[in-house]
Chains A and B, each alone.
Chain A
């Protein structure tokens, strides 16, 4: 059921064209990495503030607030490029163990957001806190660990030999 949907998806004209294009595919991949750099740095910046290691003269709540929408836009850019890469080879991605790990890690990111939303990410009390509370430091450490794992899982997707090979191999 799911696999027949994925085969249908990857054979849609735009995605089939993307798969067979010599230059558009790597351009999408490069844009994916540009978006990752932008998004990743905003994640690190927020986490460093939550840990109390940078931007200490600005409040935690302000840094979270000002980077909220830029982070969403950065993630949307990375995810859009990622979806294009996935759709052009959906069947192979489905069987790729590192892709499955990556999806699982995204689910953990969602759990992380739900768990810490109230206590860290929309806590107005943090506006006045001089030293970040333990919950903020825990949230930041877990966030750094999860996103770094996602980055590695993403790179390893390209090393699994599929039927036509991932990326350019």
Chain B
């Protein structure tokens, strides 16, 4: 039996999920940006970049999980539209790269001795990846198939 997704039939569900989604990604991306800007020499200069990352590690992960889960629910309301949307596909590519980068190179850069120049490079790549995810998300509504 085919059961309609209740999230698609309730007009209130989508905007509420979007608010949760924005709060989640703002927390996770912003916390990562705090570390990145510290690597670039701005912000909480009494702490090392690694100390800032450790202090907000769980908050960053919490925001990421909230954003991923609410994002999955948003996706479920209209999967065909998202699947055919090239901005969504770019967003997902950047998201996977950003998460992989965050937990490999980015983390390694904080725990091992690296030159400040390499630290700045890592910070710039991290910021660029996460900013691409936000742009990809906004442009889903712009390039929506069948609407433009």
Contacts and interface: CB of A to CB of B under 8 A. Distances in A.
Interface stretch (A101-109, A124-132, A149-157): A149-157
A26 B22 CA distance: 16
18 contacts: A26-B139, A33-B137, A33-B138, A34-B131, A37-B29, A38-B30, A41-B33, A41-B34, A42-B30, A44-B59, A45-B44, A54-B56, A55-B55, A58-B44, A58-B47, A70-B42, A148-B23, A168-B144
B15 A156 contact: yes
Given A33-B138, A34-B131, A41-B30, A66 B22 contact: no
B26 interface: yes
Interface string A140-165: 00000000100110011001000000
A63 B22 CA distance: 25
A41 B26 contact: yes
A29 B135 CA distance: 9
Contacts of B88: none
B142 A168 contact: yes
Contacts of B30: 37-42, 44
Contacts of B47: 55, 58
Contact of B135 (A30, A38, A40): A30
A66 B26 CA distance: 20
Q: Is the interface of A mostly helix, strand, loop or mixed?
A: helix
B15 A159 contact: yes
Contact size range, A? 35 or more
B109 interface: no
Interface of B: 15, 18-19, 22-23, 25-27, 29-31, 33-34, 37, 42-47, 51-52, 55-56, 59, 130-131, 134-135, 137-139, 141-142, 144, 147
A9 interface: no
A72 interface: no
A62 interface: yes
Nearest to A148: B23
A78 B49 CA distance: 25
Nearest to A25: B142
A37 B19 contact: no
A36 interface: yes
B142 A22 contact: yes
Contacts of A41: 26-27, 29-31, 33-34
Contacts of B147: 168
A23 B45 CA distance: 38
Contacts of B22: 33, 36, 151, 155
B18 A54 contact: no
Contacts of B19: 151-152, 155-156
Interface in A29-72: 29-30, 33-34, 36-42, 44-45, 48, 54-55, 57-58, 62-63, 66-67, 70
B141 A44 contact: no
Given A26-B142, A42-B43, A66-B45, 10 more contacts: A37-B29, A37-B30, A38-B30, A40-B30, A44-B59, A54-B56, A55-B52, A67-B43, A151-B22, A167-B141
